[in-house]
């Protein structure tokens, strides 16, 4: 099987469950608290490995207990961690509030993630050899993301960018030109297209996807939560519906989608079928608490929605 490389963040998630997400200045009582390995990069690497992919991760953690735990968790899932190096200082953390309806609000403190540099992409050239899919996000320095995307493009890999957290300024042209598949959620899609963030109908998502395609990426996949996703490829759009599930925690659902998408593409599936697999893997993940702890096994997804030959 072709290799999947993930360049990105590793954070320890510090999670509080409460009846609802508090507003500014408000204190409410929660019902549960736990810590669990997360970070958009690590979530995607963990998901891809657990779903059967041949995965290697490039990232940075601190020389602390969180860093040890996060590296071990990835290794236990079958992800190669030789390029996940520990540096002096603190690991990244994410402070997450989860409502009883499954909604979440997140504050990320990057820590060691900020120490992953463009030079590290050049120094880890061997890691990218044979790469079929490269997963990227925006929780590491932007110049590092650009360097990784350009490396992936030069090797002919599927370069998949999850533009999260949503940037406050436009993404650079050299990044978007190196991206094959852009996978924003509806909030991120609206922001990237210059609109106020809001829930999108599939029709609105299609109009935004067309605008985003004009910025450079060849394919746009807008993740629409319970509505599934909208795939814009070439000059046509397709809506892939999500199965109905009871959401417990939506944390990392988008990361599970991206990890599953990379696995399906690395196995030679067409885009529509890869999106179907990713939507079903993501739907299963929201029925469980946590980020990496919510990722389903490959056998569960195959039973829920078997992959079809392309």
Q: How does pLDDT run across 49-95, given as a tens digit for each residue?
A: 999 999 999 999 999 999 999 999 999 999 999 999 999 999 999 89
* Backbone dihedral angles phi then psi of residue 55, each to the nearest 5 degrees: -125, 140
pLDDT score recorded for residue 105: 87
- What angle separates helix 65-76 from helix 40-50, to the nearest 10 degrees? 30
Kindly provide the residue ranges of all beta strands, DSSP E only, lying in 9-137, ordered along the sequence. 11-18, 32-38, 54-62, 80-87, 92-99, 104-109, 131-136
pLDDT score recorded for residue 100: 85
CA dihedral 175, 51, 44, 62 (to 10 degrees): -130
d(CA 25, CA 36): 26
pLDDT tens, position by position, 19-60? 999 998 999 999 999 998 999 999 999 999 999 999 999 999
- In the predicted structure, residue 2 carries a pLDDT above the cut 90: no
d(CA 251, CA 55): 22
The structure's pTM equals 0.91
pLDDT tens, position by position, 138-164? 999 999 999 999 999 999 999 999 999
How does the average pLDDT of the chain come out, rounded? 93
- In the predicted structure, residue 308 carries a pLDDT above the cut 60: no
Check if 255 is active-site.
yes
Catalytic residue from among 13, 120, 249, 255: 255
pLDDT score recorded for residue 310: 43
pLDDT tens, position by position, 191-248? 999 999 988 999 999 999 999 999 999 999 999 999 999 999 988 899 999 998 998 8
H-run or E-run covering 223: strand 219-223
The arrangement of strands across the sheet holding 219-223 comes to 80-87, 54-62, 3-7, 131-136, 158-161, 181-182, 219-223, 229-233, 236-240
């Amino acid at each position: 099987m072709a290799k999947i490389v993930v360049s990105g963040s590793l954070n320890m998630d510090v999670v509080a469950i409460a009846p609802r997400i508090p507003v500014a200045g408000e204190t409410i009582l929660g019902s549960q608290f736990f810590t669990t390995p997360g970070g958009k990069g690590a979530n995607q690497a963990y998901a891809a490995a657990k779903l059967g992919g041949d995965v290697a991760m490039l990232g940075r953690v601190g020389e602390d207990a969180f860093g040890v735990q996060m590296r071990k968790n990835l290794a236990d899932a079958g992800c190669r961690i030789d390029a996940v190096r520990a540096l002096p200082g603190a690991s990244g953390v994410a402070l997450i509030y989860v409502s009883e309806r499954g909604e979440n609000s997140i504050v990320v403190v990057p820590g060691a993630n900020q120490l992953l540099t463009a030079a590290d992409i050049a120094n880890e050239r061997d890691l990218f050899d044979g790469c079929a899919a490269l997963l990227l996000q925006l929780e590491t320095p932007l110049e590092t993301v650009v360097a990784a995307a350009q490396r992936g493009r030069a090797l002919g890999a599927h370069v998949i960018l999850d533009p999260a957290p949503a940037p406050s300024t436009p993404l650079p042209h050299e990044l978007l030109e190196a991206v094959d598949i852009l996978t924003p959620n509806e909030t991120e899609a609206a922001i990237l297209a210059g609109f106020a963030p809001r829930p999108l109908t599939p029709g609105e998502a299609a109009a935004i996807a067309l605008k985003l395609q004009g910025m450079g990426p060849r394919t746009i996949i807008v993740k629409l939560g319970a509505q599934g996703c909208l795939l814009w490829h070439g000059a046509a759009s397709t809506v892939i519906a999500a199965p109905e599930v009871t959401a417990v925690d939506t944390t990392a659902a988008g990361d599970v989608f991206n990890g599953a998408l990379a696995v399906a593409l690395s196995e030679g599936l067409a885009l529509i079928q890869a999106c179907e697999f990713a939507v079903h893997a993501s739907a299963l993940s929201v029925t469980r608490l946590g980020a990496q702890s919510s990722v389903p096994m490959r056998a569960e997804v195959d039973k829920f929605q078997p992959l079809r030959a392309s």
